[in-house]
Amino acid sequence: MPPEPVTGTGPPHVRVTARSGSVTVIGEARDDVVASDHADVVEGPDGVVEVVPHRGSRSVTVQCPEGAAVTIGTRSGRLHLRGPLGAVHANTASGTIEVDNAASADLRALSGSITVERCAGPCRIKTKSGATHVRSAGSVDITMGSGTVSVESVDTSARVRAVSGSVTLAAEGRGPIEVETMSGSIVVTVPEWCRPNVRAKTLSGRARVECPEGDDCSVVARTLSGRITVRSR
């Protein structure tokens, strides 16, 4: 028998606790929360809709209203959050995380790549090893152990700390940018109109500012080992 849908007023908060296997959450035009057959959906006393996949489930799909807040924890497997969602929190010990469209995001993987297509607000990412790619975010706060970081567009502030790996970040010039690596090159791109106030420091490597400087936004770039380039589009 399929699980009973859980309905309520306003976008719900959905919490998914999985041990392994892929989890897909789809935000769509609907009022209820449903999950594929092999998962229980229960509304908890705190109003959070709990989705618990049955043991041994290989994949679970959850459909929820647009704008729902989603919290997911799993040990391994792919996490895919599709459709317009609210605040998203997702963590996995080993697996990839993909977010299509969220109001805000906190994404953590001990090992695995993380991809965000669009995050309207703050986008916080932490991974020990794996690539991080953000196409568009309101702001970013990214911590990377080992791997590459690529941010195509950040609207306001950006902070990136990478232990080992290159960082490429394109900013819209409306907030401070701070990028630090222990070992790895840094490339920061600002809009053509923006004249950044640049503080760049590298112990072994070359720091180049290839755009006119001014006071439109602050760019701090530091690396112990690697090249730094600040340029305009």
Site of interaction with other proteins (CB under 8 A): 15, 17, 19, 71-75, 89-93, 106, 108, 110, 124, 126, 143, 145, 161, 163-164, 180, 182-183, 201, 203-204, 222, 224-225
- Is the Cβ of residue 74 or residue 115 nearer to other proteins in the bound state? 74
Please say which residue, 110 or 120, places its beta carbon nearer to other proteins. 110
- Give least dist CB 76 to other proteins, A: 8
DSSP-assigned beta bridge partners for residue 52: 40
How far is the CA of 104 from the CAs of 135, 168, 217, in angstroms?
Answer: 14, 21, 23
Nearer to other proteins, 73 or 191 (CB): 73
Q: Say which residues have a Cβ less than 8 Å from residue 48's Cβ, sequence separation at least 6.
A: 12, 13, 14, 15, 71
- What span, in angstroms and rounded, lies between the C-alpha atoms of 160 and 36? 37
Which lies closer to other proteins via its Cβ, residue 106 or residue 172?
106
**Shortest Cβ distance from residue 6 to other proteins (Å)?**
18
Q: Shortest gap between Cβ of 125 and other proteins (angstroms)?
A: 9
Q: Is 46 left (phi over 0), alpha (psi -120 to 50) or beta?
A: alpha
CB of 232 to other proteins, least distance (A): 26
